[in-house]
Amino acid sequence: MEAKKETHQFKTEVQQILNLIINSLYSNKDIFLRELISNASDAIDKVRYKAETEPGILGDDTEFKIKLSPDGIKRTFEISDNGIGMTYEEVLENIGTIAKSGTAGFLEALEQAKGHETLLPELIGQFGVGFYSAFMVADKITLVTRAAGAEANQAVKWESTGDGSYTIEETEKAHRGTTITLDLKKKGKDDKDFTDQWTVRGIVKQHSDFVSYPITMEVERDEPLPDEEIIKDKDDKPIGATTRKVMREETLNSMKAIWTRSPSDVKDEEYEEFYKHLSHDWNPPMERLHLKFEGTTEYDALLYIPSKAPFDLFTPERRHGIHLYSKRVFIMEDCKELMPEYFRFVKGVVDASDLNLNVSREILQQDRLVLNIRKNLLKKLFDKLEKMDAKTYNQFYDEFGAVLKEGIHTDPSKKEKIASLARYKTTKSEDAWVSLDDYVKNMKADQKEIYYITGDKLSALLNSPHLEKLKEKDFEVLLMTDPVDEWVVQTLTEYDGKPLKSAEKGDLDLDKVDDSKKEAYNALFGFIKGHLEEKIKEVKPSTRLKDSVACLSGDAWDMSAYMEKLLKASGQKPPETKRVLELNMDHPVVEKIKALFESDRDNPELKNYSQLLLDMAIVSEGGKLDNPGRFSKMVGDLMTRAME
């Protein structure tokens, strides 16, 4: 039977990425070897874990290693492992297409990174396309792989020159695992020689020294000749060569699991390189926690807080950063059971010696040891955040504040602790973060509530008409611009005994309405409501406005305008809720409309003015008008008449 062979075209977006990688002038091309070694290490992790339940899957091939074979004559570089390997379908899925961490996000990130080539390695690693980094140094890549448990010699070959297509075919391979052969590009004058053993040694030592499996390479050594092979003179002194060149397989890495060592024995550079290996993030981490717990249960943990938010932080396919081990045996990556969603950006390793190697996710959720580890890790992380200096914490919050605040809504037991770590820009501090503790400390003597307003733009919130009276009274207002804040205020109804109150909903009770003046406006307000009754539920005097003519508000439990906007943006239809049109009775425009209404109730302009008041209120809060053309024409007509 003829072996199956197919040729496929890369998808357009994949080809875009390949073109960028192939044509990149990025100077540190060492990344390709780091990424390929990481992939090989992951493959061995997986087969080693699978062997716990299927011991026979390893056969006689039980000595795990990653072998590097540079060839200066052929200008090739080969890396092979005896890991889990891949089937035909898995090669198509994993190598023929971009990893599922978000192609669209990757391309968007590339667009943002234009002109900043140093971002390329970070993007390559974070988006799961490390394999493609080999095209930085290779004209052609050939991959041959045999899956663990495959029928005798059954294997798959994948090959591409990165020119827009690749071939995939059935082939044979004697042993389990994957072999990748790079046909190296012609070496430029300033390029490293990746076939030179000392170059390879240096890269492995710097980037992959802590990989748990031997990284080996055949190296040439000078070894002494046996005495009987040495030519000597009559005085028994050597007159010829005393050594010979021999090839020996040498292990290039120390294989020390960094998390099992004493923190005092680990250098900063080692911590940093392990972080890069673990996270595929080229930036150094912001903070780290190296923890050793001893007692009735013992486990080691090494956690990192990144300095930059990963590009897939808010994508559905995002992965948690915690790898779970037991006695240095890999169990699983993406271990959500050890870290809540609001800490999903934390990277690291947990090694629990008493954990069952065959543990399932269902068991993990109930395992007392896992629950204990999670509790202790959270405590240490919160302690680390609380003790950060202000500058570092502000940098952290710029990157991860929006994610951390998710915990206020999703983790009631930590609501107060996370709320104390939350920071906001305010009407009195638009350039610096303010904590809720500092807000409460700075409240006016006659201020009973913590005021806030939600929206998507800081400048729009800062100039919102809803805040005019609050500013006049010198009350500080929290400016909440993260979508998650809408859920925060649903859960965090008070802080330090002070209720949280929306500046755009409910009655602010800032000033008493002049009842006699309100009485004089009742007829006009009734007329406006009658004309706009399909869009609003009430027209009333405003206690919010000082300089503006109109604004829209809601009842205390109504959905905010920003929440409606978020639901619409996500494709959901918000419930029909009519809002209140508030008018400033002290504004000359409202006074003149009242005078016109009282002198000529049948004047057709009154309906136009009613609509214009509503449109102005919508525009002032950043909303969208049903008929912006009508609004533009009405404003133009008013300007014309005013100038006449």
Alpha helices in 540-603 (DSSP H): 561-569, 588-599
Kindly state the tokens that stand for 323: 């790898």
CA distance 595 to 592: 5
Q: Tell me if 127 is assigned to a ligand binding site.
A: yes
Q: Tell me if 86 is assigned to a ligand binding site.
A: yes
Whole-number Cα distances in Å, 530 to 36, 320, 631: 71, 55, 20
Neighbours of 420 (CB within 10 A): 15
Q: Which residues pair with 554 in a beta bridge?
A: 505
HSE-CB of 7 using CA atoms within 13 angstroms: 6
Polymer length of the chain: 644
Q: Which residues contact 559 (CB under 8 A, 6 or more apart)?
A: 574, 575, 577
Of the candidates 50, 47, 1, 3, which has an alpha carbon nearest to the alpha carbon of residue 155?
Answer: 3
Q: Tell me if 39 is assigned to a ligand binding site.
A: yes
Q: Tell me if 128 is assigned to a ligand binding site.
A: yes
Q: Tell me if 540 is assigned to a ligand binding site.
A: no
DSSP string, 434-482: EEHHHHHHT--TT--SEEEEE-S-HHHHHT-GGGHHHHHTT--EEEE-S
Of the candidates 136, 13, 30, 153, which has an alpha carbon nearest to the alpha carbon of residue 85?
Answer: 153
Q: Tell me if 102 is assigned to a ligand binding site.
A: yes
Q: Tell me if 115 is assigned to a ligand binding site.
A: no
**Pairing mode of beta strands 177-184, 5-9:** unpaired
Q: Tell me if 361 is assigned to a ligand binding site.
A: yes
Using an 8 Å Cβ cutoff, are 424 and 432 in contact? no
471 CA to centre of own chain: 37
Annotated binding site: 35, 39, 81, 86, 94, 100-102, 126-131, 178, 361
Annotated binding site for ATP: 35, 39, 81, 86, 94, 100-102, 126-131, 178, 361
